[in-house]
Amino acid sequence: MITVPDVEAMTGVGMRLGRALRPGDAVCLEGPLGAGKTTLTRGIAAGLGIETGVSSPTFVISRRYRGPHVDLVHCDAYRLAPDDDFADIVPDPDRVVTVVEWGSDVMPAVGDSWLVVTVGRSEGMGDDVRTISLRGVGDEWDDERVNRISGDLT
């Protein structure tokens, strides 16, 4: 578990995570409304070298940002209907980095393996304090890779 004291620190964690991601990687962001998932994604975009400002894709479901090495596809599955075909929303997951807020139900449509990042609020530690924990699903995100990245984030 990583403690994130403020917005700036959240962006910094995202930047370091973004630098560790490569084409084909998928990240599922979990955590309650306003936890900081979009804020973390801004950092991920910066870490990928993307200079365009990232905004929440809640109403458009998905946005693609062109990066110098790899594009970022940022999705928000919050308003997705259960029968919407998520495979159409991320057409080329092997060539991009995909980050999905509220993604737990749709990640299997993106690929076989993904990183789950859970952003939480921390009771009694001040309004801005958040926690982050990482968990891997599938072969690409084995314990070794998850632990290595986890160590790089702070």
Ligand X SMILES: Nc1ncnc2c1ncn2[C@@H]1O[C@H](COP(=O)(O)OP(=O)(O)OP(=O)(O)O)[C@@H](O)[C@H]1O
- Note the residues at the interface with Mg ion (CB under 5 A): 37-38, 56, 101
Span interacting with ligand X, options 18-26, 28-36, 59-67, 79-87, rule CB under 6 A:
28-36
Closer Cβ to Mg ion, 7 or 145, answer by number = 7
What is the smallest separation between the CB atom of 112 and ligand X, expressed in angstroms?
26
Does residue 38 interact with ligand X by CB under 6 A?
A: yes
**Rg for the chain, CA atoms, rounded:** 14
Rounded distance, CA 80 to CA 74, Å? 14
Closer Cβ to ligand X, 26 or 37, answer by number = 37
Rounded distance, CA 148 to CA 154, Å? 11
Contact criterion met (CB below 8 Å) for 65 and 47: no
What is the smallest separation between the CB atom of 31 and Mg ion, expressed in angstroms?
9
Torsion of CA 78, 84, 86, 87, to 10 degrees: 180
Does residue 31 interact with ligand X by CB under 6 A?
A: yes
Does residue 154 interact with ligand X by CB under 6 A?
A: no
Largest separation between any pair of C-alpha atoms in the chain: 42
Does residue 74 interact with ligand X by CB under 6 A?
A: no
Number of H-type helices and E-type strands within the chain: 4, 7
- Kindly list the residues in this chain that would bind ligand X in the complex (CB under 6 A): 4, 6-7, 10, 31, 33-39, 56, 101, 128, 130
